[in-house]
Chains A and B, each alone.
Chain A
Amino acid sequence: MSFRVKFSIMIIVLGGMLVFLPSIQNKINEPKLSELFEVSTISNIYFSVDQIAKSMVREDTSILLIDLRSPEEYKAFNLPGSINIPYNDLLNRDWQGYLNQKSIKNVLYSNGDFTSTSAWIIVTRLGYENNFILKGGLNEWYNTVMESKFEGRKITAKENALFETRTKAKILFTEMNSLPDSLKVKFIAAKRLKEQQLDGGCN
């Protein structure tokens, strides 16, 4: 058999083998499967409700809360300062600007962990950075912040600070969500302005 025939057979066989190779290769920004898994095992991907309460009270603009529930659920109540990206619409290109950026931390939340974790896996697989999960979601928010009660006899300075932050976050949540829809955005903006004035800052 001549070299030409051998070479042709080799090329045909190689082509045939390619059919059996995994069809989905990593795209440019996508992490490898093992990298995605590795990132998913570290606890840094989670934010606790207390961390969120603290950032809410401090008006921390380096964190953006993303509510993954339906627009109806979002409208009924949501975490102050959050935006609504329904999970059913997650891959809509309109949201890419929020989900795929490097300047602020996105904290994904829903009622529990199921939807936020699913969304985290999808966006991380797509190579989007700076996305995190609110551990326990709104159920944990209610359990820890909204129903926060001090039941001990003595309170330490640390406990007192934590309790105070939870109470402030609870008031903010209730105030904001008790307002008519048209005033909710204005409420957040007005509050930020007021805080800036009290801090002596300028805008």
Chain B
Amino acid sequence: MKRFKSLRFIITFLILISAIVLARLIRGNYYMISADKVYEQSLDTDEIIPFNQYEISPEDFYLVDLSNEKLFQQWHVENAVNIPYMDLLNRISFKNKYQKWLIYSNNISETVKAKMILNQKGIKAFYLDFAEINNNVAYKNVNSIGLDEKFKYKFRPDSTIRPE
């Protein structure tokens, strides 16, 4: 009987600690990866998934449209879930935390911030890129993340300028 009491004490203690750890993991305010690791990941071009590749196996991803509700209602990719950027941290749940997030929006800066925040929360996240199908009218509101850093103009020096 005494032995049973001790065992019960240990089991209760274990359950309590597990509950605390789980609560902290789900709602915790901790970085799951270091700043160096986040930086390394940001240099990885494999983190960009072209739309054509996504279409092959859409079930592999948790597709998220980060635009606001109004833009989402105007147009979105089929089966995408709307999580406006402002609401991102509140919408991470125990269920979607362990899925592979595939994100896009009409705002490149917000998409980048969302991916890096998710990565630091320990979530695997990728960018959905529309570069291949950008001529399609339906995608006019969504900029291509893969082409964002391409300089679209040409600098023409003025040969008439002479140093004073």
Contact = CB atoms under 8 A, between A and B. Distances in A.
Interface of A: 1, 6, 9-10, 13-14, 17, 20-26, 30, 32-34, 36-37, 40-41, 46, 73, 76-77, 87-88, 90-91, 110-115, 117-118, 121-122, 125-126, 133, 135, 138-139, 142-143, 146-147, 174-175, 177-180, 183, 186-187, 190
Contacts of A187: 163
A64 B86 CA distance: 29
Given A113-B108, A177-B157, A142 B152 contact: yes
Given A13-B14, A178-B157, A122 B38 contact: yes
A138 B151 CA distance: 7
A175 B155 contact: no
A125 B21 contact: no
A174 B24 contact: no
B32 A117 contact: no
B30 A111 contact: no
Q: Which secondary structure characterizes the binding site on chain A? A: helix
B50 interface: no
B151 A91 contact: no
Interface string B15-43: 00110010011001111111110110011
Contacts of A190: 164
Which of B38, B122, B161 has most A Cβ within 10 Å? Answer: B161
Contact of B24 (A22, A110, A143): A22
Given A133-B109, A178-B158, A33 B36 contact: no
Interface residues on chain B, size class? 35 or more
B88 A37 contact: yes
Contacts of A117: 108-109, 112-113
Contacts of B33: 24
Contacts of A133: 109
B53 interface: no
Given A13-B14, A20-B21, A126-B35, A34 B29 contact: yes
Contacts of A30: 31, 35
Nearest to A41: B86
B29 A9 contact: no
Contacts of B42: 118, 121-122
Which of A37, A110, A147, A186 has most B Cβ within 10 Å? Answer: A37
Which of B31, B32, B120 has most A Cβ within 10 Å? Answer: B31
Contacts of A46: 109
Nearest to A17: B17
12 contacts: A10-B13, A20-B21, A21-B21, A22-B31, A24-B30, A33-B30, A33-B89, A41-B85, A90-B39, A117-B112, A179-B163, A187-B163
